[in-house]
Every structure is written in structure tokens, then in C-alpha cells.
Structure 1
Amino acid sequence: MKQIPNILTLSNLFCGALAIIFILHAPEYIAEFNGTDYVVTNPEPIYWASALVVLAGIIDFFDGFVARLLKVSSELGKQLDSLADVVSFGVVPGMIMFRLLRSAYFQSPDVFDVSYFNLAPALLIPCFAAYRLAVFNLDTRQSEHFIGVPTPAVGFLVASFPLIMLYNPYNLAHWLENIWVLYGIIFVLCYLMVSAHPMISLKFKNFSLRDNWPRFLLVVLTLISIPVLRYAAVPFVFIAYVGLSLAVPPKNSIKNS
């Protein structure tokens, strides 16, 4: 019984490794003629990678829940969880951003002058994710809230980008074709992961509205935004999460700061 949470954690890692395979085996790009010019899009395997990141996130939630339920939490499980998370929510998002940057450069006139140096900033995401997870394992203040944005939130956000490119809700795909917007997203995400800002944890210790109204508000915003914004709901909820955490810091973070 005590190995069940570890098996779930390894399933998280399996999803991340499989997502990497999908990204590596995807064709360079798909170019479609829309009547006036060619539009470059990411191929289908990138979307499967996005789905696997979401599945990894669901498993990541349940491995900790099962460990607490069975009362088999261990230091091994904690370390194993971070190792799995750095792949699923660090390396995979970094590779997705690498592909998005490359697709964006394919649409520029000087596409043949683009080097891997131009695309390398995408790899800062796994580097900062690894640093954040190492700090998380050592920081005892993060039992009831997070310090900095957790890596699964970053993973979900980046995983939504290929799907936004595919379905283009509210013409957001246009922004993800801009290399400077992508660079900006990379650096903001890296900063948020290692920042000292306290962030809301969705772990409910009780269901008191007074103690949990930011959590309830975030859940309500999520449920409302999904049918209205579809895949654009992910960046909306991410922005709402960060904004709400900064506006209403968790109570215990004020005492510990």
C-alpha cells in the first residue's frame, strides 16, 4: 500500500517522458495556404503533449492526496515528486515554448538566419523550475501556501498555448506568433517561479468562507470561464490566480515573512 503514491508519481513522470517523445517526433511545422500566404502551425503531436501535461497534473494532485489518505507520506516520495515535476512541468513546457518560438521565427523574413541561440531562452523554464522545486523541498514555510508560482500552474499555462494556436479563441493565436510576446512570457514565468511572493494554495483545511474566500472565488472564476473562454480560460485563470495572490496574500505568509 505504501508504494501506491510512488507509483502514481512515476506515472506523472511517464506522462512527461511520453510528452517529450511526442514533441521530438513531431514534424518541423505544418504550412497551410489561406489564399494569400502560408500560415505556419504546430503539428498534431504537440497537442498530445499538452494533453499529457494536463494528465500529469491530475496525477500529481492525487499522489499527494493518496499519500496523506493512506498515511504513508515519506521523504522519498517528496523527492520523487519533485523529480517527476521537473520533467512534466519544467522540461516539457520548455520544449513546447521552444517549438512555439521556432514556429514564430518561421514566419519572419529572416527565418534562415535564426540560430538555436535565439530559441535557447525557452530552456530557462526547466532551469528555473528545477531551482524552484529544490527550494520548495527545503522551505518549511510552504506547508499551507506557496512561495512563488508552483510549477504545475506554469505547466498548465504553457500546455494551453498549442491548443490556443489550434482553436484561436478571441484571436489569441496572433499574440503567440509574436517572438517578443513569447520571450516576455518566458521571463515572466521564470521570475514568478522563483519570486518571494506568497501564492494561494488550493488545499482546503476547512470550508469556512471567511478563511477560504480567495480559493472559492478562484474556483468560481474557473468554472465560469471554461465554457465562455474555452482554452483561453487557462491563461485567464493563471492571471487571476497570480493577481488574487498578490492582492490578498495568504494570512500565514504574513506571519512567516
Structure 2
Amino acid sequence: MKHLPNILTLGNLFCGCIAIACITSSQPYLIEINTVPYWITGTEQACLGSLFIALAAVLDVLDGLTARGLKLFSSIGKDLDSLADLVSFGVAPSMILFKMLWAANIAKPNAMDVSMLAMAPAFLVACFGALRLARFNVSVSTGATFTGMPIPAAGILIASFPLINLYTPQFGMYFKNPWLLYLVIALVSWLMVSKITFFKLMPSKWDMKSLWPRIILIGACAVLFPFLKFAAIPALFVLYIILSLVYRPQKHLAQTL
């Protein structure tokens, strides 16, 4: 049993590697929506990659719960978890953004003149994610909050893009604008290394003062998903930021990074 948390962490890493393989094998294709050409980047391979990122997130939660439940903590486990998170929620989502920037640029009239450097900013998410994880590893976790957005949250947001593209193209059409993708990259990268305090989804106390932002988030999820499908994820991401800015736990519960 003592190796179970690390096995789950390796499962997280394994899923991240499969996600990257799926995403790199995906190729966009052209459809028409109301006579407007639209490049679909949410192919089956890309969506499969997104699902493996989601599975990696589940394993990431389970390894933490298992380690706490079995009271198994080690520096190796902490570093291994960060390495797995960087692949699953940093590199794999960066590959999604790379593919989406490529699809957005090949839709332009001057597609043949677009430099590879136009897609390079996608990997800033992995770089800032690495900085976020390095900062976390030298900090002392003591409470119910993080300083800076957790990299799994950023990874899940980006992983939703191929699913939005495929299942709700009326929203996915906006992704053909590369400047929107650049804005997402800049925002996510900044949030991960910012000083904003984000609450953990798992509360440290089971009272209303601690639970109310989680209840609102769960309620919004239940309301939005039937109408927006996977497009609800970016909306929940924005709500998570707003609730984190409003939520003020007791100072002795806060984690300083």
C-alpha cells in the first residue's frame, strides 16, 4: 500500500503522455457553417487527448487523497507529482494550443507565409506551469488556499477547447482567431504565477463559511452544462476566479507560497 500514491501519480503521467500522442496525431479539417469556412481542430484524436487530460486530473486528486489517507508523505512523491502535473497539465495543453494556433493561421489568406514562431507562444503555458510547480515545491502547504492558479485548473480549461470545437462549433468558431488564443495563453500563464489566492476544491473545514464558494461552483456546473455542454467549462473557470477573489478564509488557514 505504501507505493499506491506513487503508482497513481505515474498513472497521471502515463495519461499525460497518451494525451500528447493523441493531440500530435490530430489533424484539422474544413467544414462550412452557414456558408462560412471553419477549421475543426476538435477531431476525435484531439478530443481523446482532452479526455486523457481529464483522467490525469482524476488520478492527480486520488494520489493526494490516498497519500493523506495513508499518511504517506515524501519529497520523492512531491517531486514526482509535480513532474507528472507538468506533462499532463502543462505540456499536453500546450500541444492543444499549438494545434489550434496552427489551424487558426492556416485559415488565413497568407497561410503559406506564417512563421512557426506564430505557434511558439503555446508553450508558454508549459513554461509558466513549470515555474508555478517549482514555487509550490519550495513552499509549505498549511491551509485551504493556493497562491496562483493551480496548473490542473489551467490544464482542464485548455483541454475543454477541442471538445467545445467539436460539440459546440457555434462557440468553437471563436477559436479561429489567433489573437483570442494568444490572450488565453497570456491570461493563464499570468494567473499561474500571480499572487491571487485561489481556494482548493477540497475544503479543510466542513462549515458554511468554507463551503459556500464550492457550493456555488457546483450549482453553476449543474445549471450550465445542460445548456452549454463543454462550453460551460470556460464559464466555470471565470466563476472560479471571481469566487477566489471574493472568498477570504481565515488568515491562519491560508497557504503562503
Task: Report the TM-score when normalising by structure 1.
Answer: 0.93
- The residue correspondences of 1:143-182 to structure 2 (distance < 5 A) are 143-168=143-168, 171-182=170-181
- The residue correspondences of 1:128-147 to structure 2 (distance < 5 A) are 128-140=128-140, 143-147=143-147
Question: What is aligned with 2:114?
Answer: 114
Instruction: Tell whether the 8 Å contact from 1:151 to 1:193 is kept in structure 2 after alignment.
Output: yes
- Unaligned 5+ segments in structure 2 are none
Matched, 1:93 2:93: yes
Per-residue deviation at 1:137? 0.9
C-alpha change, 1:36 and 1:11, in structure 2 (3 Å) is same
Aligned pair count reads 255
C-alpha change, 1:26 and 1:211, in structure 2 (3 Å) is closer
Question: What is aligned with 1:199?
Answer: 198
Matched, 1:215 2:214: yes
Instruction: Tell whether the 8 Å contact from 2:168 to 2:229 is kept in structure 1 after alignment.
Output: no
Question: What is aligned with 2:30?
Answer: 31
C-alpha change, 1:251 and 1:219, in structure 2 (3 Å) is farther
Per-residue deviation at 1:34? 5.9
Q: 3-state SS of the aligned residue for 1:31?
A: strand
Per-residue deviation at 1:37? 5.7
C-alpha change, 1:172 and 1:253, in structure 2 (3 Å) is farther
Q: Give the AA of the match of 2:191.
A: L
Question: What is aligned with 2:9?
Answer: 9
Is the deviation greater in 239-248 or in 137-146?
A: 137-146
Question: What is aligned with 1:46?
Answer: 46
Per-residue deviation at 1:211? 2.8
C-alpha change, 1:151 and 1:32, in structure 2 (3 Å) is same
- Unaligned 5+ segments in structure 1 are none
Instruction: Tell whether the 8 Å contact from 1:145 to 1:253 is kept in structure 2 after alignment.
Output: no
Instruction: Tell whether the 8 Å contact from 1:121 to 1:186 is kept in structure 2 after alignment.
Output: yes
Q: 3-state SS of the aligned residue for 1:62?
A: helix
Q: CA RMSD in A?
A: 1.9
Question: What is aligned with 1:225?
Answer: 224
Question: What is aligned with 2:250?
Answer: 251
Per-residue deviation at 1:167? 1.5
Q: 3-state SS of the aligned residue for 1:108?
A: coil
C-alpha change, 1:246 and 1:253, in structure 2 (3 Å) is farther
Question: What is aligned with 2:68?
Answer: 68
Q: Give the AA of the match of 2:19.
A: A
Per-residue deviation at 1:256? 6.9
For 1:226 and 1:38, the matched residues in 2 are separated by: 27
For 2:47 and 2:114, the matched residues in 1 are separated by: 25
Deviation sequence 1:104-150 (CA, Å, 0-9, x none): 11111111111111110001000000010010111225642110110
For 1:95 and 1:207, the matched residues in 2 are separated by: 38
For 1:249 and 1:107, the matched residues in 2 are separated by: 45
Instruction: Tell whether the 8 Å contact from 1:199 to 1:246 is kept in structure 2 after alignment.
Output: yes
Question: What is aligned with 1:55?
Answer: 55
Task: Report the TM-score when normalising by structure 2.
Answer: 0.93
For 1:194 and 1:117, the matched residues in 2 are separated by: 24
Q: Give the AA of the match of 1:3.
A: H
**Aligned-residue identity in percent:** 41
For 2:54 and 2:255, the matched residues in 1 are separated by: 32
Q: 3-state SS of the aligned residue for 2:216?
A: helix
Is the deviation greater in 172-181 or in 216-225?
A: 216-225
Q: Give the AA of the match of 1:202.
A: L
Instruction: Tell whether the 8 Å contact from 1:105 to 1:179 is kept in structure 2 after alignment.
Output: yes
For 1:252 and 1:138, the matched residues in 2 are separated by: 20
Per-residue deviation at 1:65? 0.2
